[in-house]
Structure 1
Amino acid sequence: MSGNAFALVWRNPYVRAPVFFGLIALALWLARDLAPVLTVGLTAYLIAYLSHPLLTWLERRRLRRGVGIGVVLLIALALAALASSLLVAVGTQLIDLAGRLPAVAQDVSRFVDGWLAARPNLPWTAGLRAQLTTLINSSTAMLSRDALPFLQGLLAPGGPLLGRLFGVANTLAQSVAVLILSVYMMQDYEKIGHTLLGLLPRPWQPLALDLSRGVEQSVGGYVRGQVVIALAIGTLVALGLALIGVPSALALGFLAGVFNLVPYLGVVIALVPALLLAAPLGWLKLALVVGLFLLGNQLEGHLLSPLILGRSTNLHPVTVALSILVGLHLLGLVGALVAVPLAALGKLLLARYYYPSRLYQGGP
C-alpha cells in the first residue's frame, strides 16, 4: 500500500521537479568540490574517446587492441613533441608580434595623417584625423601596457596562464594518473558505457542509450569537424602570409586556427594584426592579405563546413561558445569539458520531448 502511495505521489510533476533540481544542485556542488579528481578522469576519458576510432580501425586490420594502444601512445608522444617545438616558435613570434604592433600602428598613423593632410579641402578631414590619432594612440598604449606583458607571462616557462592550462602535465602524480586511466579506458572503452548504463533502472536504459547515441553523434561530429576546419584555416593563413611576406606568419596562423574553433572568429582575430603588419609593405601586399582572409572565409563557409560537418551535427556555434563560457564560470576546466555534451543533451531533450508536447503546441 505504501509503495502504491509513493508511486502515486511520484507521478506528480510538482513533486518530481524539485527532486530533480535538488539532484542537479547536488551534482554541481560535488563537481565543484571534486574538480581536481574529475579533471583527471575527464581528461583520461577524452583521450580514450578521441583514440577509439583509430583503435577500432586498427582492430579491423587484425591488430590486437593492446598493440593498438601502444601505437596510439607513440603517436601521442610524437604529436606532443611536435606541439612543444611549434609552441616555442609560435611563442617567440607572438612576443615579436606584440612588440612590432605599436611601431607599425604609428607608421600607419603617420601614413594616414599625411594622406589626409594632402587633401585639406575634404570637409571631414579634420575630424577624421583627430579620431584616428586618438584611436591609434590608445591602441598603442594598450598594446604596450597590457598585450606584451600578457604574452610574455603566457609563454614564459612557468607563466601563470601556461601553468593553469598545462597543470595536469606539470604535476607528475596527475600525469601518471591520466596516463594509467586513459590506457585502461582505451582497453575497456565499450565496457565503460555498458557499466554506466547498467547503473540506471532497467526501464530507463533504452531511453538513456538512445539519448547517448544522439549526443555522441552531435558532439563527436562537431568537435572532430571543427578541429579539422581550424587546422585547415590556420595552415592556410600561415602559409599564405608567409608567401606574401608578412612578418610573424606562423603566429598569425596559430591565432587564426585556435580562435577558429569558434567558427569564423579566428579569421577576424588574425586579420587586424595581419593588416597592420602588411600596411608598410605596400598596397599590393595589403590587398593580397585581404584576399587571403576572404578566401579563408569563403572556403570555411561554402566548402569546409558543409563538407566536413555536413549533417552530422546541429549544434550552433553560438550555443557551443556560450555553453563553454557558462561551464568555465560554474566549474572551471571540468565545466568546459562537459559543457558541449550537456548542451547537446539539452537540445536533444527539447527537440524530442518539449517541442512535440501539448504544453509547447497548445500553451499552458
Structure 2
Amino acid sequence: MRERLRHAYQSVRSRRRSAGLRAGTPATASPASPRPAPAPPPPPAVGTKTSAPLHSSTTSRDDADVPHALRVGAAWSWRLLAIGIVAWALLRVMGQVRIVIIPLAIALLLSALLAPAVGWLLRARFPRSLATAVVLVGGLAAVIGTLTLVVNEFIQGLPVLGEKSSQGVRQIQNWLRSGPLRLEDEQLDRYINDVEGWLNENIDGLTSGALSTAATVAEVLTGTILVLFATFFFLRDGNRIWRFLVRLMPVNARWKVDDAGRASWQTLGAYVRATVLVACIDALGIGIFLVIFEIPFALPLAALVFLASFIPIIGATLSGGVAVLVALVDSGPITALIILGVVIGVQQLEGHVLQPLIMGRAVAIHPLAVIVGIAAGVVLAGVTGALIAVPLIAVLNTAVRRLAARTVPETPSDAVVVASRAP
C-alpha cells in the first residue's frame, strides 16, 4: 500500500512540474518568491510631446489636457446656469399664479398670529370648528372696528379739516412769497398752470390707471375671500394638512421633514409676534406726540399707524406722512416739522433697532439679513414682497438648519412601534 501511495504522489508531482515548464514558469519557484519588477518604459524620443496623465475624473486625453482649475470652473458654471434657469422658470410660474400664492402666504401669517388664541379655546373644551370661527370672527371684528373708527373720525372732522386746509394752502403761498425762496405771483401762477396742463395732457393715462385700479380692486376682493377661507382651514385642519404633506415624502425622510416643518412654524409665529410688538411701539410713539401737540384725530391716526406697521418700513412711513399733513393743516408748519421729526425718529428706531434686534432674535437670523431681505422684497415684489420677505427668509433658514443637522429628531410621544415578534 505504501509503495502505491508513493508512486501516485510522484506521478502527480511530475505532472505538475511538466505543466509548469510548458507555461514558462520554473518548477522550482517557490510560491512566496517575489515577482521580477517590470521594465521601465522607454524614454520618449526627442521632439515628441508628452501628454498629461489621465485623472480619475477625466474620461479622455482631451479632458486631461485642460487645466484642473478651468475644468472645475466650467463644472460650476453649467451647474449654476441650470439652477438659475430652474429658478427663473419657478419665478415665472409663481408670477402667473401670484393671485393664489400671495393670499395663501398672508393666510399663513394670519394663522401664525391667531393660532395661540385657537389653542386657548381648544384647551377650554371648545370644538375645533367653533374655536376657529370665534377667533377668526373676533379678529375680523377688531380690524373692521378699527377701520370704522378711523373712517368715522375723518368724516366727522372733514369740514373743519377742509377749512383749515385752505388756510394752510394760503399760509404756504405766503411763505413762498415772503420766505427765503422769494417767489413772485407770476412764478406761482406759472407753476400752477404747469400742473394743470400736465393733468390735462395726461388725462388718458390717469383714466387707464383708474381702470387698472378697478381691476386691482377686483383682485383684492378675490384675494381677501381666499385669505379668509385659507386662514379658517389652516387654523382648523393645519395638523392634518401638514401630516398629509409629510406622507408624500420618502419614509426615511418623514421625521426629518416633520421636525423641520414644525420648527419653521414656531419661527413664523415668533416673527408675527415680533411684528405686532414693533407695530405697537410705532403707534404709541407717534400717538403720544400727537396727543401732546393736540393734533386732531390722534387716536385714529395711531390706529392707522399700527395697522400700516405690519408692512415693514413703508407702512409706518405712509401713515406717519398722513399725521404730518394733518398737523400741517391744523397747527401750521412748525408743529408739522416737529411731528415730521417724531415720525423720522420712530422710523429710525424701528429700522435700526427694533427690526434688527427684536425680529432678528425672534427669527434667529442676522440683523443684516433682515434689512437686506426687506430691501430685496421691496425691489422684487413691492409692498407684498416686503411683507413676505423676512418671514420667508426666517422659515427657510430654520428649515435648512434642521434638515442639515445630523441629529435624529426625537420620537413623537404618540408614536407606535410595531414589531413582528417580542425582543
TM-score by length of 2: 0.53
Structure 1, unmatched stretches of 5+, are 1-11, 117-124, 147-152, 354-364
Partner of 1:107: 171
Partner of 2:35: none
CA distance in 1, matches of 2:86, 2:339: 53
Identify the structure with bigger relative contact order (alpha carbons < 8 Å, sequence gap 6+). 1
- Residue 107 of structure 1 deviates from its aligned partner by 0.8
**Bigger Cα displacement from structure 2, 55-64 vs 84-93:** 84-93
Partner of 1:220: 269
Partner of 1:59: 122
Partner of 1:8: none
The total of aligned residue pairs comes to 313
- Residue 351 of structure 1 deviates from its aligned partner by 8.9
Partner of 2:87: 24
Q: 1:230 to 1:102 in 2, by over 3 A?
A: farther
CA distance in 2, matches of 1:14, 1:202: 34
Pick one of 373, 394, 412 that aligns with 1:344. 394
CA distance in 1, matches of 2:306, 2:398: 29
Is the contact between residue 238 and residue 251 of structure 1 (CA under 8 Å) also seen in structure 2? no
SS in 1 for 2:362: coil
- Residue 72 of structure 1 deviates from its aligned partner by 1.1
- Residue 55 of structure 1 deviates from its aligned partner by 1.3
Aligned pairs for 1:1-364 within 5 A: 17-86=80-149, 88-89=151-152, 92=155, 103-108=167-172, 110-111=174-175, 114=178, 128-129=181-182, 161=213, 164=216, 167-169=219-221, 171=222, 178-201=227-250, 208=257, 212=261, 215-216=264-265, 218-238=267-287, 240-242=289-291, 244-249=293-298, 252-253=301-302, 256-260=305-309, 261-263=311-313, 266=316, 269-270=321-322, 272-273=324-325, 276-277=328-329, 279-280=331-332, 289=339, 309=359, 311-313=361-363, 314=365, 318-328=371-381, 338-344=388-394
Q: 1:309 to 1:294 in 2, by over 3 A?
A: same
CA distance in 1, matches of 2:308, 2:193: 23
Q: 1:181 to 1:246 in 2, by over 3 A?
A: closer
Q: 1:61 to 1:310 in 2, by over 3 A?
A: farther
- Residue 269 of structure 1 deviates from its aligned partner by 3.3
Query: In the TM superposition, what whole-angstrom CA distance separates every residue of 1:175-198 from its partner, at most 9, and x where no partner exists?
Result: 665544433322221233333334
CA distance in 2, matches of 1:141, 1:231: 43
- Residue 29 of structure 1 deviates from its aligned partner by 2.8
CA distance in 1, matches of 2:177, 2:386: 46
CA distance in 2, matches of 1:72, 1:140: 54
- Residue 290 of structure 1 deviates from its aligned partner by 6.8
- Residue 312 of structure 1 deviates from its aligned partner by 1.2
**Bigger Cα displacement from structure 2, 230-239 vs 97-106:** 97-106
- Residue 69 of structure 1 deviates from its aligned partner by 1.2
SS in 1 for 2:332: helix
Aligned partner letter, 1:110: N
CA distance in 2, matches of 1:93, 1:235: 23
Aligned partner letter, 2:241: I
- Residue 75 of structure 1 deviates from its aligned partner by 0.6
CA distance in 2, matches of 1:218, 1:43: 16
- Residue 54 of structure 1 deviates from its aligned partner by 1.4
CA distance in 2, matches of 1:141, 1:276: 25
Q: 1:214 to 1:324 in 2, by over 3 A?
A: farther
CA distance in 2, matches of 1:159, 1:234: 34
Percentage identity across paired residues of the two chains = 23
Structure 2, unmatched stretches of 5+, are 1-74, 200-205, 404-423
Query: In the TM superposition, what whole-angstrom CA distance separates every residue of 1:259-288 from its partner, at most 9, and x where no partner exists?
Result: 54434973663564255235539x6x5697
Q: Tell me the C-alpha RMSD between the 2 structures.
A: 5.3
Aligned partner letter, 2:392: L
CA distance in 2, matches of 1:246, 1:74: 33
CA distance in 2, matches of 1:264, 1:29: 26
- Residue 82 of structure 1 deviates from its aligned partner by 0.9
Is the contact between residue 150 and residue 303 of structure 2 (CA under 8 Å) also seen in structure 1? no
Aligned partner letter, 1:321: I
Is the contact between residue 259 and residue 402 of structure 2 (CA under 8 Å) also seen in structure 1? no
Partner of 1:361: none
Is the contact between residue 215 and residue 341 of structure 1 (CA under 8 Å) also seen in structure 2? no
Query: In the TM superposition, what whole-angstrom CA distance separates every residue of 1:3-41 from its partner, at most 9, and x where no partner exists?
Result: xxxxxxxxx866764554444333223222333343454
CA distance in 2, matches of 1:139, 1:265: 30
- Residue 68 of structure 1 deviates from its aligned partner by 1.2
TM-score by length of 1: 0.60
- Residue 210 of structure 1 deviates from its aligned partner by 5.9
Query: In the TM superposition, what whole-angstrom CA distance separates every residue of 1:241-264 from its partner, at most 9, and x where no partner exists?
Result: 245332454564355445544349
CA distance in 1, matches of 2:337, 2:378: 36
Partner of 2:42: none
Aligned partner letter, 2:316: G
Is the contact between residue 324 and residue 339 of structure 2 (CA under 8 Å) also seen in structure 1? no
Find the structure with the greater CA-based Rg: 2
